[in-house]
Amino acid sequence: MKLHWVLSEPTPYHDYFLNVLCEASGWDLIVHYVNPSTEIHPWRRRDPIRFRCRYFKPLFGIDWKILKYALDEKNGFVIAGWSSFSLIALIALVALLKRPFIFWTDTPDVKRSRTFVKKLLRLVVSNMVFGSATAVMGTGKPGIDALQAMGCPSSKLVCFPFFVNLDVLKRMDEKGTNSRRDGKIIFASSGRLEINLKGYDIALKSLSRARDLSGNNNFEYHLAGAGPDEERLKNLAANLNLVDQVRFRGWLESNELVELLRRCDVFIHPALRDPFPVAVLEAMAAGMVVLGSDASGSVRDRIVNGVNGFVHSPGNVQQLADQIANLMKNPGSISMIGERARQAAEQWPASRGVTILESILSKYS
């Protein structure tokens, strides 16, 4: 069977998983991208890929080539999202023709305010998906819960999160202690520098407060990413007297980010809402202690508070500051908690994703 996988854009973690899928399965895989890249994720470097791919070329708003593939009964589909007219048209066509397809989505925002027209369109498309898809895959338990709340039958729901390269991110023994030989704790965050989305102002305020609570000034905070609020965050760091501790790293390519994470101890993810951030998965795979808000799907899915990381309420400066201060006062706990984070990450290797897909699609091959 030819398997057509439709994604919004190329990403390093999708490339990694699809390469693993190509090696592990006998499917003829073709990947279709709606967009070549986005302003939010301006990746310039791409590792070698072992699958065929193409980009949508819409005419009158629709990529007609993907619809042509749907006419062939030998083709199966994994369709990620319904964010474009091409995707909606593809879903409608494969549903009409009763072609096997899997729908995959990040954690839907069921509480988001929408216009009447958008609500109606969302209802029509979701009912079509839930009624016709072979399976509906959600990213972790938060995604499954949201899809069930939208009306998807539980019999069709499958947990299928994002997958990261556990081997590349594995922390070497010597790198697990380098950053604390002089007692310094290195914190990090990665993501778009957009305060109303990622909440990095909360991280800065909490670090400042934790410094005062613990009396520990021997730390660094590396903030990797680009976005519209970079200057605001730099000004805030200066106002909080954190200039000597905070390092604004700018946009980092995936290999550069891996090197940063493997040298750091604690990952702060104070997002105000983040469906299922891969950044949290990468940090756990790197053996870091994650301090994440429960507005982040992968935090709710993977972090057991106080065991393999710490969870705080979004926007709660004091709660996050207390967690940071506790680590500053007890740096010896960082390695143990980070090791547990790594163990949790190892429960979701890419091979597990391949097995899930094989179990869904085997009956159609």
Q: Residue 223 pairs with which residues in a beta bridge?
A: 189, 248
Mean pLDDT taken over the chain = 93
Asked if the model's pLDDT at residue 190 lies above 70, the reply is yes
Residues contacting 85, CB < 8 A, separation 6+: 58, 61, 62
pLDDT of amino acid 365? 55
- Determine the pLDDT at residue 176: 46
pLDDT digits (tens, 9 = 90+) for 338-347: 999 999 999 9
Confidence category of residue 180, pLDDT binned at 50, 70, 90? low
- Amino acid identity at 302: R
- How do residues 22-66 score in pLDDT, each as one tens digit? 998 878 899 999 998 777 777 777 889 999 999 999 999 999 999
Give the start-end residues of each E strand in the chain: 2-7, 28-33, 52-55, 75-80, 101-105, 135-138, 157-159, 185-190, 219-224, 246-250, 266-269, 289-293, 309-312
- Please state, for a pLDDT cut of 90, what percent of the chain lies above it: 84
Predicted confidence at residue 178, as pLDDT, reads 41
Q: Which domains does the chain have, with CATH numbers?
A: 2-163+349-364 (3.40.50.2000), 166-345 (3.40.50.2000)
Give me the sheet containing 219-224, strands edge to edge: 246-250, 219-224, 185-190, 266-269, 289-293, 309-312
Query: In sequence order, what are the residues at sequence separation of 6 or more whose Cβ sits closer than 8 angstroms to the Cβ of residue 300?
Result: 140, 141, 142, 294, 311
Q: Which residue in this structure is represented by tokens 């730390």?
A: 219
- The confidence score (pLDDT) of residue 175 equals 43
Distance, CA of 35 to CA of 198 (rounded, Å): 23
